[in-house]
Structure formats: structure tokens, C-alpha cells
Chain A
Amino acid sequence: MAEISKEKLLWIYEAMVKIREHEERVAELFAQGKIPGFVHLYIGEEAVATGVMAHLRKDDFITSTHRGHGHFIAKGGNIKASMAELFGKATGICKGKGGSMHIADLDVGELGANGIVGGGIPHAVGAALGIKLNGLDSVAVAFFGDGASNQQNFHEAINLAAIWKLPVVFVCENNLYQISLPYSKQQVIKSVAERAAAYGIPGVSVDGQDVFAVYEVAKEAIERARRGEGPTLIEAKTYRFRGHFEGDPEIYRSREEVKWWRENKDPIVIFERTVLEKGLLSKEELEGIKEKVKNEIEESIRFAEESPWPKPEEVLEDVFSTPTKGVLVWQW
């Protein structure tokens, strides 16, 4: 296990429990009918976003998936505004126009969750191209799932990043299911990381439930990208504890399988056990963080609930940056 500063350990734990608490509360709120639309939760996959994001700065970029709350939180996105967005309120981070599947916070380099599987992968490559041409030392990280790794965008984007040696890291969150289709029926290779060989870049597979393991491989990949040595493909083997979306009847996997993962591979439990056994953090420190996070999430919910709805006329705003005549005014 790599040396990790105490400050970083505390940050990792806080990010993981913040994602967990956020998602558990969102599940409840969705069940109560307070959150409209589709909601895809990140519970069980916390170690991936956190282990990677532990190495990122505010001026680094990420692109995310439709399961994007975890990435958003770990990148330092504004949680009050994102909670309001989930509710569809005017104070939402996207003014109620994006919702759960399109959470974005450009202020912290979060270029957006994406409702189109694989759609955001080239955007990370674009950010990386911009970084390189501007002579910056930032990096871009593309998050996507195992399902997206069969997509055109995955292959085209990795190839572009490889030929142009761009500072980008591709992180596949292989949670074993593409909605209902198990990994074994999507592709014949054992690991998505094997695909890196086809593009002449390093590919590494890691236990995505072990934040220390993710931290280590991400460190190497991100440092490599920052040094100008080009992209890396990381496959984090993980598992979503809940269904594909809230309300998913989950007829494609057994209760026993889910139970096994929850009992044996909970990334937060694994982290707690490790830091307590090694004496890196105390029980009190962990409890303190949990308490703090709970309050923060409750505050965000209060903010969202108390926020006003967007005004009807806002439906016509935010299409173009520059004033245009004859477009939106042209209503039949």
C-alpha cells in the first residue's frame, strides 16, 4: 500500500461517505416521489471515483456517465446546487434543465454526466487536446461503464488520444452489468483493460472496491499523463449495489449475488477496516466525518426542498450564447 498522507485519507473517507449518504438519501427521496425522472445511483462504486479523484486538481477535467453523482461529488461539485437540480428546482446547478443524468459543474472541471452511453469519452479527449495545445499541466479523466467500452466513441477516442499522446486517463467502471446484460455476454475478453493493447497504451485492471488499489493505479496513470507520456486505460472491477436505476426489478441477478457483494466488498467497510487495523485513523475521526457529512447532505435536501420552481419563461432561455433574431421568437 502506497504512503497516503493523513489529510488525504480523511479526504478519501469523507468523499466516499458523502457519496454513500447522498445516494441513500436520494433513493429515499425518489421513492417518496420528490425526485422526478430517472435516477441511477453510485452506491457500491464509491472507491473508483474517490481513488481517482484523490489525484485531481480543480483545473483538471472529468467527463462522467448517467451514474454521475459520485464523480460530481468527488470532483468537488456544489452539492446544494446539485441536490436542487435533482429536484428540478430553479437553484439547481443546471437551473432545472439537466437533472440527474446531466449533472455538470464547469466551475470544477466537471464537463457533464451524459445520458448517452459513451457520449462523454471524446469530450475528455478534447479537454486533453486543449490542455496540450495550451501548454498546461492539467489532465482529463473519462469515466464510463463496461457497456460503453463496446461503443464507437470509446474506440475512436482512445485511438485519438494514443496517436496524439494526450494527457487523458480512461477509467472503465466495470460493474458487471450493462443494464441487465452480464459482462460475460457483452465481450469475450476477461478484462476491458486488455483493449488497451489494441491502441498501444498501458491497460491495467484493478479491484474497484479497494480504494487504496484504485488510488495507486490512478496515481501512476495520472502522473504519466501529466508528464506528457500519454493515455492509460484503467478498468476498475466494481459492482452496483442497487439496480441499474431506482425501481429496477433486477430480474437479471440473484439476491444472493447482491448480498455477497454488499457483505464482502463494500468499499467503505474495507477502507474503515484497513485504516483502523493499521492505526491510520481513529474510530472517532471516522464517526466525526460521518456526522459532518450527514449534516451537509441534510442541509442540501433542505435547500432543494425550500427552493422555488423555475419560472415558465425560462424554458426559452439558455439555447444560444449570442442574441439571435428569428429563432426562439418564432413560435407557431
Chain B
Amino acid sequence: MAVVREITFAEALNEALDYEMSKDPKVVVMGEDVGRYGGIFGVTKGLIDKYGDERVKDTPIAESGFIGTGVGAAAAGLLRPVVELMFIDFLGVAYDQIYNQAAKMKYMFGGKAKIPIVIRTVSGAGASAAAQHSQSLHALFIHVPGLKVVMPSTPYDAKGLLISSIEDDDPVIFIEHKMLYGIKGPVPEEAYSIPLGEADVKKEGKDVTVVATALMVHRALEAANKLEDEGISVEVIDPRSLVPLDVETILNSIKKTGRLVVVDEAYPRCSFATDIAALALNKAFDSLKAPVKLVTAPATPVPFSPALEKEWMPSTEKIERAIRDVL
């Protein structure tokens, strides 16, 4: 068997963009510093040399304007834009174009419109980027009907999910955790797609189900591996796309283990974590042998100091403790 090469999360995303741009001239990349600079995390590196500045468009700092432009180009049926919102925290200055425009057009137009736009954005704490560059705001997208929300945790998933997202005819919010760009993993050179709405069981287990996303998948796996030495068997599920959500895989796992821990880096209230807990209570209540446990960040802004930020984020230790609590 050929050895699959290992590349970084950022490189995997770059390959997905490169593949889609080479395949379909309607795919364009737009955003702040995506051209010559290659994106602040290097995801769009080199694309401008291959596809030129008409298809890899550096924009002014005008998120509402350029995301709205992407929405219009998609609605007109003329382009399939991949627009970069540099940090998810900048959502506020462009939110109308996402939740009132892109998300609703298909429904408001009686099903006629297709809005094939991908909004790539960067989420998450861990880089001492402080309160306006570190948030995990995916719940704000999950809450809005009409948006698909994708959140990969590995380079392999990143490439396959981005290809699917670009080929999807609906608006997709593609969220990349900033602490994952440098991680390496096996990624095939050829193009492949991972369907939206299929969770991945990152580790099989029989005692506890842990549902985690993005960076938290890695921390959940660390906790699971530690506990395995003590004979505790943890199943780690990465939904990969939060909308559509693979309800079936999650429920089947809960029914098997009878115990659920949800790890979500976002704020605790009205979050992805509470959503999965509600799902479990509504659809798998009879299987539950213990109360559902949530591991989330506290309801505070993200602090700057590494000492405080470490405390703020869900850690491997906190996940480990939560798993022990439900046993």
C-alpha cells in the first residue's frame, strides 16, 4: 500500500481551493489579503500566481460589501465565490448579508434561487489573540435556517469537506480553528469529497460518547486515550458539519454507551453543546444512564493572558473529569 503523504491543515485547504478553481472557472476566491499575501494563515498561498488577480481578489476591509458581492454573484448564477471572513469575530460587520440575505433568499424566492457561496472563516482561542479575535461563534450560524455550517478537525476532513462545500448549491459557513492550521495529517493527493451531514467516529468506544468539534476533537481524543489506560472506553464523535447534522450517528452512539459528554469551545448558553444535550434528552432519554455533561468555555469574553486563556478553554483535564463524572 502506498504511504499517504502528510500535509498541514492549511495546505489541505489550499489543495481543495486549487482543485475547485482548476475545475470550474466560476469558482473565485475573495477576501482581505487573500491574493499576494496568500491569506493571513497561508490558506490561499500561490493561488493568485495560478489564477490571476481577477479570480483571487484582494478586497478592501469591507466585509458587508464583499460578502454581499459574493451573495449577489452567486444568486445571479454567474459565480461560485469562496469568500474569506478573516476572523469569525468580524461577523458583526457583515452579519446581515449572511443571515438576512444569503440564508433566506432561496426560501423567500420560493425555492428558485441557488446561493452557491462558501464563507471561509477563522475561529477559536489558544493564540492569545484576545476577545475580538478568538471567539467560537458557530452557534450564531447554526441558529439561522438556510446556512450550512462545517467545522473540520483534521487535514483530511478539511480538504474533503471544503471540496463538498464549494460544490454545494447552498451558502456554507466553513469554520477553521486557528490552532489547527499547522497540524499535519495524511491527505491523499487526488481530490475527494466528504458529504456534508456525515459525522466521523474518530475513536470507537463503549462506555461514554463524547461529541466534540474542531480543536476540541483533539483534546477529547487525548482524554480518551489517557482513560483507555484505566480501562475506560470512550467513543469520540466529530460531527464535522454542524448543519446538516448527522443525528443518526450521534444518537446511535448515545444509545450504545448510555452516557454523553459534549465538548464545545463556545460560550455555554444556547450553544452547540446545549443543542446536542437537548437532542439526547429528546431522542435518547431512555438510553441515558447519567445526566448529560457539557464542557464549554465560560460565559465571559476570551481573555488575553496565556495563563487566563488556558483556564478559559476546555482542557483535556476538564474533559477527562467530565467523562469520569458521567461514569
Q: Measuring CB to CB, which residues of chain A are less than 8 angstroms from any residue of chain B?
A: 61, 63, 92-98, 102, 104, 106, 109, 111-112, 114-116, 119-127, 129-134, 136, 140, 152-153, 155-157, 159-160, 163-164, 317-322, 324-327, 330, 332
In the bound assembly, the distance between CA atoms of A121 and B20 in angstroms comes to: 28
Is there an interface contact between A61 and B76, defined as CB atoms closer than 8 Å? yes
Closest partner residue, chain A, to B196 (CB atom) = A324
Q: Measuring CB to CB, which residues of chain B are less than 8 angstroms from any residue of chain A?
A: 26, 28, 54-55, 57, 59-60, 62, 64-79, 81, 93, 96-97, 100-101, 105-114, 145-146, 148, 168-170, 196-197, 243-248, 278-279, 282
Q: Which residues of B contact A124 (CB under 8 A)?
A: 72
How far, in Å, is B6 (CB) from chain A's closest CB? 32
Q: Which residues of A contact B248 (CB under 8 A)?
A: 325-326
Q: What are 17 inter-chain pairs, A to B, with CB distance below 8 A?
A: A98-B108, A106-B109, A122-B64, A122-B72, A124-B72, A125-B65, A125-B68, A129-B73, A134-B79, A152-B93, A153-B68, A156-B65, A159-B62, A317-B111, A320-B106, A324-B148, A327-B245
Is there an interface contact between B66 and A156, defined as CB atoms closer than 8 Å? yes
Q: Which residues of A contact B59 (CB under 8 A)?
A: 160
In the bound assembly, the distance between CA atoms of A293 and B323 in angstroms comes to: 72
Is there an interface contact between A131 and B244, defined as CB atoms closer than 8 Å? no
Q: Which residues of B contact A97 (CB under 8 A)?
A: 107-110
Is there an interface contact between A123 and B79, defined as CB atoms closer than 8 Å? no
Is there an interface contact between A319 and B79, defined as CB atoms closer than 8 Å? no
In the bound assembly, the distance between CA atoms of A98 and B196 in angstroms comes to: 28
Q: Which residues of B contact A122 (CB under 8 A)?
A: 64-69, 71-72, 97
Closest partner residue, chain B, to A153 (CB atom) = B64
Query: Known interface pairs A116-B100, A160-B60. Does A134 touch B78 (Cβ–Cβ under 8 Å)?
Result: yes
Is there an interface contact between A130 and B78, defined as CB atoms closer than 8 Å? yes
Is there an interface contact between A94 and B108, defined as CB atoms closer than 8 Å? yes
Is there an interface contact between A318 and B75, defined as CB atoms closer than 8 Å? no
Instruction: Name which of B73, B77, B107, B278 has the most chain A CB atoms within 10 A of its CB.
Output: B73
Is there an interface contact between A320 and B109, defined as CB atoms closer than 8 Å? no
In the bound assembly, the distance between CA atoms of A157 and B66 in angstroms comes to: 7
Is there an interface contact between A126 and B72, defined as CB atoms closer than 8 Å? yes
The 4 A-B residue pairs with the shortest CB-CB distance in the complex, in nearest-first order: A126-B72, A130-B78, A122-B68, A156-B65
How far, in Å, is A92 (CB) from chain B's closest CB? 7
Closest partner residue, chain B, to A96 (CB atom) = B110
Is there an interface contact between A153 and B65, defined as CB atoms closer than 8 Å? yes
In the bound assembly, the distance between CA atoms of A332 and B282 in angstroms comes to: 7
Q: Which residues of B contact A125 (CB under 8 A)?
A: 65, 68-69, 72
Q: Which residues of B contact A325 (CB under 8 A)?
A: 197, 244, 246-248
In the bound assembly, the distance between CA atoms of A131 and B54 in angstroms comes to: 12
How far, in Å, is B312 (CB) from chain A's closest CB? 31
Taking a contact as CB atoms closer than 8 A, the residue among A114, A156, A326 that contacts B64 in the complex is: A156
Q: Which residues of B contact A114 (CB under 8 A)?
A: 101
In the bound assembly, the distance between CA atoms of A109 and B28 in angstroms comes to: 21
Is there an interface contact between A106 and B62, defined as CB atoms closer than 8 Å? no
Taking a contact as CB atoms closer than 8 A, the residue among A104, A119, A317, A326 that contacts B197 in the complex is: A326
In the bound assembly, the distance between CA atoms of A132 and B76 in angstroms comes to: 12
Taking a contact as CB atoms closer than 8 A, the residue among A61, A155, A321, A326 that contacts B106 in the complex is: A321
Taking a contact as CB atoms closer than 8 A, the residue among A121, A133, A322 that contacts B68 in the complex is: A121
Q: Which residues of B contact A134 (CB under 8 A)?
A: 26, 78-79
How far, in Å, is A18 (CB) from chain B's closest CB? 22
How far, in Å, is A159 (CB) from chain B's closest CB? 6
In the bound assembly, the distance between CA atoms of A325 and B246 in angstroms comes to: 7
Query: Known interface pairs A159-B60, A318-B110. Does A119 touch B72 (Cβ–Cβ under 8 Å)?
Result: no
In the bound assembly, the distance between CA atoms of A157 and B282 in angstroms comes to: 45
Known: A104-B108, A330-B247. 5 other contacts (CB 8 A): A111-B76, A119-B68, A130-B72, A164-B57, A326-B245
Is there an interface contact between A95 and B71, defined as CB atoms closer than 8 Å? no
How far, in Å, is A172 (CB) from chain B's closest CB? 17
Is there an interface contact between A116 and B114, defined as CB atoms closer than 8 Å? no
In the bound assembly, the distance between CA atoms of A266 and B46 in angstroms comes to: 58
In the bound assembly, the distance between CA atoms of A95 and B108 in angstroms comes to: 9
Instruction: Name which of A94, A114, A320 has the most chain B CB atoms within 10 A of its CB.
Output: A320
How far, in Å, is B206 (CB) from chain A's closest CB? 24
Closest partner residue, chain A, to B116 (CB atom) = A321
Closest partner residue, chain A, to B250 (CB atom) = A326
In the bound assembly, the distance between CA atoms of A159 and B63 in angstroms comes to: 12
